[in-house]
Amino acid sequence: EAQVTQNPRYLITVTGKKLTVTCSQNMNHEYMSWYRQDPGLGLRQIYYSMNVEVTDKGDVPEGYKVSRKEKRNFPLILESPSPNQTSLYFCASRAGGPLSEQYFGPGTRLTVT
Amino acid sequence: AQSVTQPDIHITVSEGASLELRCNYSYGATPYLFWYVQSPGQGLQLLLKYFSGDTLVQGIKGFEAEFKRSQSSFNLRKPSVHWSDAAEYFCAVGYSGNTPLVFGKGTRLSVIA
């Protein structure tokens, strides 16, 4: 089954404790991205990657890091989480080209206290 | 900068009634246009997309959307809403190359009996 998986699905952590949210896709997609979803703000892109070792900032990259060492994986790293990073995070992938369908993961609910 | 506006934050319709969700975009050329649906607790699923050709596009779950260049709009419609259509709906715009999608802030649809 074609899918994007994220782990963990739910996470409660404390300010300053480094964390990683993993994302993996099994469709051999070139393009992957991370979004955060906040009430009233919709989805905002954090980072995206057009291929292995190619990443770029989205609209709200501050406080986040990503890496793309393998095509299937695109982890999101919060080196020092803060309460304003409490949000719902989605990973997404697509084959490439703007008309390709973008597949979304199920989301990760992060709470930073 | 490119932008997407969904003017309605929340819409309530009766089951069986027709539905229209509005979407306006800001861009000089014809963009790639998408509608996604997010059911409660789920990721986003593509309903339909448009780039060229017939301006009336059919999607899954009985939805359709019409592209109107003169109004920079891509409104989503459904002739008869079902209770299971209650969800949040996002309009998104893509452009040439591998640029990321830009999402609207979403419209939450409630369906009443």
Shortest distance between the Cα of B103 and any Cα of chain A, in A, equals 6
- Statement: residue B37 has pLDDT above 80: yes
**CA A4 – CA A45 distance, rounded (Å):** 17
Contact B9 A45 (CB under 8 A): no
* Residue of B100, B92, B98, B44 lying closest to A59 (CA atoms): B100
d(C-alpha B35, C-alpha A7), whole Å: 26
Instruction: Kindly determine whether residue A99 and residue B46, on different chains, have CB atoms separated by under 8 Å.
Output: no
Q: pLDDT tens digits for chain A (113 residues)?
A: 889 999 999 999 999 999 999 999 999 999 999 999 998 888 999 999 989 999 999 989 999 999 999 999 999 999 999 999 999 999 999 987 777 888 999 999 999 99
Across the interface, whether the CB atoms of B94 and A99 are under 8 A apart is answered yes
Q: Of B46, B98, B105, which has the smallest distance from its Cβ to A40's Cβ? A: B105
Residue A100 DSSP class = S
> Distance (Å) from the C-alpha of residue B82 to the closest C-alpha of chain A?
23
Question: How far apart (Å, rounded) are the C-alpha atoms in residues A27 and A99?
Answer: 16
Q: Is the pLDDT of residue B28 over 70?
A: no
Strands B102-103 and B44-50, bridge-based pairing: unpaired
